[in-house]
Structure 1
Amino acid sequence: MRATAGARQWVGLAVLALPCLLVSLDAEVLNMAAPQLSADLRPTAVQLLWIMDSYVFVVAGFLIAMGVLGDRIGRRRLLLAGAVAFALSSLLAAFATSPELLIAARVLMGLAGASLMPSTLALIRAMFADARQRGIALGVWSASFSLGGLAAPLIGGVMLEHFWWGSVFLLAVPATLLLVVLGPALLPEARDPSARGFDLAGAVLSLVAVLIFVYGIKRLAAEGRPAVPLLTLVIAGAVLTLFLRRQRRIAQPLLDLSMFADRRVRVGLIANALSFFVLYGTQLAIVQYLQIVLDLSPLRAGLWALPSVGAFLLASLLGPMLVRWFPAGRVIAVGAVIMAAGHGLMALAPYGGGLPILVAGMVIGGFGLAPVYTLTTDLVVSSVRSSRAGMGAAVTETGAELGGAIGIAVLGSVVVAAYRSGMSGVPGLPADGTLMDAAAAADRLPGSMGTALLQQADNAYGMAFAVVSLVAAGLVAVAAVLAFRVLWPTPPGAAAPASEPSDMVVPTQPSEHSADGGERATMSAVDR
């Protein structure tokens, strides 16, 4: 029988949850700090978008390279080094004195953050050989994001009430210290000893393709003349083509393209990316609606976000349990339907629903997202050989981060375009003005004039918020249809590749062979 994990592995899982807490804390508190950050540094609308999403872009570009690097040099070693780098770049961000310096710090944070997530997922694959235990471990791993989200509104809200916006970046320091101290004692080292060299040229090509593509998406969404952005996207496509041709040609590619031959893996990645496209793309709009339209303080806005984070936490643990009785593809599809329903409900908030409807929609959306994320992650990570687990984990996270980055650019631009349409022709406001610009202008106007301007801005933003919520609901519904049609259960041992002989340097983990020396097929949650 396949060996099961012991106490050391489960305690080690708690240590692996620290980077997840770190990432979710950073993302949540930065959204909360956006209004204060804008008032202090006065970034332009484009600079604010880069402050919010440059981290995500860099993470997406470097994930595959970092995942493969972890396979080469050791995932624990890369995890600890990345954690230290993340803390140092967070300190730089905390004390940034200009938008440009903050953007640079966010880029460095992204480079360090790209080393964290593939390493944690690959170590979970190494520590939990049993498929059911791995499903539970992935649920805990996913739930740790929720715990970070639960802590962020409380801790971040208190810090923003009493300190400057940069204090939110200091939250990374204690989490990093715990990881660096406990990691060497509790986490096994795991790597691919058969790997030789590192495809540096492929890593550069993948990074350039991602960054150029994202830049083109941002320009296309922001400009009325599409010629230059479309040319940029064509260049990104050409670089991507060069990268893929190189991966097919070299002996030890950065990315094993054979994993995409299984359409269930492809659909799992699409469903994962679409859900994060919607999640990341609507987060800033929700925060601004709570703090500016509904006039809530950062702390109160954070408290009203807690129920949705709690729903995600509950569903993260429930999803791996449900696959014992229902096909995982059906659980993923139902989760996507629930998420779509939540965003559809949020669209009613500006039209009489108010705060209760908005919070209810956030709760329903969070509950639906968790099984989509957890189960599609298990599907992709379990589809590759254990020696290439870092690469498989990186592919999953790249899909999520790139989907999220594009979501920020595209859905953020949808909000901006819809808002400007509602505010067109208003005197005294710049053509590229934001909701915060309108609020500042209203404060300078006397009495009823300021009130009228603020009311018009609130109505325009409410319409924009409803539009983006409906777009988000439609996109997640597409993911639900794909999952329902493609992610059928398969006979045991038929879908997943057989585990290769255990070539991992994991002294504390038993071999993945059966007792008689024969190889056993690794069975993902979607196969059950």
Structure 2
Amino acid sequence: MERRGQWWALAVLVLPVLLISVDSTVLGFALPYLSEDLGPTGAEQLWIVDVYSFVLAGLLVFMGTLGDRIGRRRLLLAGAVAFGLASVLAAFSTTPMMLILARALLGVGGATLMPSTLSLIRSIFTDDRRRRTAVAVWSAAFSGGMAVGPVIGGWLLEHFWWGSVFLINVPVMVVLLIAGPLLLPEHRDPNPGRFDLLSALLSLGAMLPVVYGVKIAATSGFTWSAALAVVVGLGLGVLFVGRQRRLERPMLDLALFSNRMFTASVVTNLLGVFALVGLLFLVPQYLQLVLGLSPVTAALWMLPATVAGIAGALLAAWLARRVRVPVLVSVGLLLGAAGFLVLTSLGTTAGLAAVVVAFVLVGGGVALSETLTNDLVISAAPVDRAGAASAISETGYELGGALGTALLGSLATAVYQSGVTGSLSAAPHDPAMDTAVAAAHDTLGGAVSAAKSLPAPAAEALVTSAREAFVSGLHVTAWAGAAILLYTAVQAYFLLTRGRRPANTKETPLPV
């Protein structure tokens, strides 16, 4: 494929990446409107956010292998149709459960998009340096989506209903369906393994019960149902791994994990995104519901972080030719940890400058590290198995995002609920106040909405207590995120320094 055609193909491949990042950030800004309109409980709100990532992560490896088998371009275009239709269903949802179902279907469609994009980059860009640059552009598209999504979404939220944030997916999918057949080459494994539906079901069955159990334990305390869900999920995980070891052509190539550099890169991606997405779940709510900013204004204040993320991704390829990759990855993660520490200074009346500084550090640092680890992951596998390797990388990314929302979001929710319950326990007991307190217990958005039906003094007391409890939860989450990124930085440095590339790749090694 000629050089100009390669870059036009890359332009098409970043469209699904933009959608994924737009979808993750826009939803955070729409949560206050969802809380007011649909009235979800705290648990339902978390499911609305993270069921997409859970389903996507559970199906990624299967879809990556399917793309190797039937053709990556074909799978990408089929996924575009599914993603567009699910977006329409989400936009017109009338109940929390309907929206959760629509988000799950979005996860099915998204699972076909992500491994196809990264694996096609692996097959289109055979030159090591160009491929690294292409991966940097691919990574920068995530940050670009974080910039475009909140601004467009904020404008939509101020002029239309919350469902409009899902409809922005549709025109992008239409462009992909038109340009994809014209500009993207088809590529598949010439000797694919058999279609293994059982392995796909086992991988999904292993993930969902474990995450469900963790969510229940985080929000309601230890229960036998939570423990049973975790045990069932772990048991199915053992069956999945055992099946992969027995199959001649497994869905998940466990041999890839024998390479320390590959494994370290996947784990680094997972933990980095774990911290970042947990932050993206909370900060938009802080800007709107605590500081009182409009959606568009809140989105504009996040633009500096987006610029930092794009710069970190694009500089990664250039810096990797001059500085050892383990050092760069660790420095990026340490910058992210510093950003989380800045968030511990937030208050209920002031904190805008701290949010900007923190997001610049986290966005730029994580983008720098993950651009390099993504390149290490896809270059570790033979080109015919690029779909499976890309799927493993994306599984780590999406699983990290899902767990970040579930665990860090649940941690913040638990601290919030404990704080708001304690502060409002002495409130006068009348029917209106009791109803408002019950609404405030689940989410900050519920507290703000319920306060509108109360007299001014009671409304102010309710909102003030809820905001203070929310900021306390954000502080605890920020300390947890800083600790996670600090640990990841140290682990990545030592594992990547000792790692090596597999013998079956002919790429010029990164300066490790």
- State TM-score, norm by structure 2: 0.94
Equivalences for 1:102-113 in 2 at 5 Å? 102-113=99-110
Q: Secondary structure of 1:296's match?
A: coil
Instruction: Tell me whether 1:240 sits opposite 2:237 in the alignment.
Output: yes
What residue is the counterpart of 1:444 in the other structure? Answer: 453
Q: Is 1:459 the counterpart of 2:463 in the alignment?
A: no
Quote how far apart the aligned CAs of 1:450 are. 2.4
- Give me the whole-angstrom Cα distance separating, in 1, the residues matched to 2:502 and 2:319: 20
The superposition leaves residues 22-63 of structure 1 with CA deviations (integer Å, 9 ceiling, x where unpaired) of 111222211111111221111222211111111111101000
CA distance in 2, matches of 1:383, 1:353: 47
What's 2:411 paired with? 414
Using the TM superposition, name which of 405-414 and 422-431 deviates more.
422-431
| Alpha-carbon distance in structure 1 between the residues aligned to 2:39 and 2:419 | 24
Structure 1 CA distance, aligned partners of 2:450 and 2:97?
25
- CA distance in structure 2 between the partners assigned to 1:371 and 1:5 by the alignment: 29
| 8 Å Cα contact 2:421-2:441 kept in structure 1 | no
2:347 maps to which of 347, 350, 357: 350
Match of 2:145 among 148, 155, 158: 148
466, 469, 483: which is aligned to 2:478?
A: 469
Superposition pairs of residues 76-225 of structure 1, within 5 angstroms: 76-225=73-222
Q: Which residue does 2:503 correspond to in 1?
A: 497
Per-residue deviation, 1:241: 0.8
Distance 1:196 1:475 in 2: 38
Structure 2 counterpart of 1:288 = 285
1:49 aligns with 2:46: yes
Residue 308 of structure 2 contacts residue 363 of structure 2 at CA under 8 Å; is this kept in 1?
A: yes
Alignment match of 1:39 (pick from 36, 56, 79): 36
CA contact (8 A) 1:94 1:170 kept: yes
| In 1: Cα distance, 2:312 partner to 2:350 partner | 25
C-alpha distance after superposition, 1:332-359 (max 9, x if no partner): 0000000110111111122886111111
CA distance in 2, matches of 1:241, 1:196: 21
Q: Structure 1, residues 350-389: CA drift from partner, whole Å, max 9, x if none? A: 2886111111111111010102211111111111111100
| Higher mean C-alpha displacement, 277-286 vs 472-481 | 277-286
TM superposition shift of 1:417: 1.4
Q: Does the 8 A contact of 1:21 with 1:144 survive in 2?
A: yes
Distance in 1, Cα, partners of 2:179 & 2:29: 30
Q: 1:522 aligns with which of 495, 507, 512?
A: 507
* Counterpart contact for 1:346–1:362, Cα < 8 Å: no
C-alpha contact (below 8 Å) 1:67/1:115 kept by paired residues: yes
Whether the 8 Å contact between 1:32 and 1:298 is mirrored in structure 2 is: yes
Structure 2 match to 1:506: none
Cα distance, 1:432 vs. partner? 4.0
* More helix by percentage: 2
Q: Which residue of 2 aligns with 1:333?
A: 330
Deviations 1:443-479 (A, max 9, x none): 3332333223322222221111111111101101111
Q: Which residue of the partner structure matches residue 296 of structure 2?
A: 299
Contact residue 217 and residue 406 of structure 1 kept, 8 A: no
Q: Does the Cα contact within 8 Å between 1:418 and 1:463 map onto a contact in 2?
A: yes
2:199–2:240 Cα contact (<8 Å) kept: yes
In 1, the alpha carbon distance for the partners of 2:21 and 2:493 equals 29
CA contact 1:20–1:144 (8 Å) conserved in 2? yes
Output aligned runs, 1:261-276, within 5 Å.
261-276=258-273
Identify which of 5, 8, 13 aligns with 2:5. Answer: 8
Higher mean alpha-carbon deviation, 428-437 vs 323-332, is at: 428-437
Q: How many residues align?
A: 500
Contact 1:496 1:523 (8 Å CA) reproduced: no
User: Is 1:481 paired with 2:490?
Assistant: yes
**C-alpha distance in structure 1 between counterparts of 2:145 and 2:242, whole Å:** 40
| Segment of structure 1 superposing worse, 435-444 or 271-280 | 435-444
Q: What's the Cα RMSD here? A: 1.6
Give the letter for the 1:380 counterpart.
V
Shift, 1:220, TM fit: 1.7
Q: 1:343–1:469: 8 Å Cα contact kept in structure 2?
A: yes
Following the alignment from structure 2 to structure 1, what is the Cα–Cα distance between the partners of residues 216 and 457?
38
1:362 aligns with 359
1:254 equivalent in alignment to 2:254: no
CA contact (8 A) 1:383 1:497 kept: no
Structure 1 residues 372, 190: closer, same or farther in 2, change over 3 A? same
State the AA in 1 paired with 2:50: D
Q: Deviations 1:293-324 (Å, cap 9, x if unpaired)?
A: 00111111111111111110111100111010
Give CA-to-partner distance per residue, 1:86-144, whole Å, 9 cap, x none.
01111111111211211111111100000101000000000111111111000000111
Structure 2: segments with no counterpart, 5+ residues: 428-433
Q: Indicate the residue corresponding to 2:443 in structure 1.
A: 434
- Secondary structure (helix, strand or coil) at the match of 1:408 reads helix
Match of 1:510 in 2: none
Deviation at 1:271, TM superposition (A): 1.1
- Note the C-alpha offset of 1:489: 7.4
Q: Deviations over 1:400-449 (max 9, x none)?
A: 11111111111111111111222224143128432123223433332333
SS in 2 for 1:300: helix
- The structural deviation recorded for 1:211 is 1.3
Q: Which residue of 1 aligns with 2:431?
A: none
Letter in 2 for 1:419: Y
Question: 1:5 Cα deviation (Å)?
Answer: 5.8
* Closer, same or farther: CA 351–91 of 1 in aligned 2, 3 Å: closer
SS of residue matched to 2:179: helix
Instruction: Compare 188-197 and 67-76 and name the one that shifted more.
Output: 188-197
SS at 2:243 equivalent: helix
C-alpha deviations, 1:192-225, integer Å up to 9, x for none?
0111421211111111111122111211212223
Letter in 2 for 1:18: L
| Equivalent pair of 1:342/1:363 in contact (CA under 8 Å) | yes
Structure 1: distance between partners of 2:222 and 2:419: 21
Letter in 2 for 1:496: P
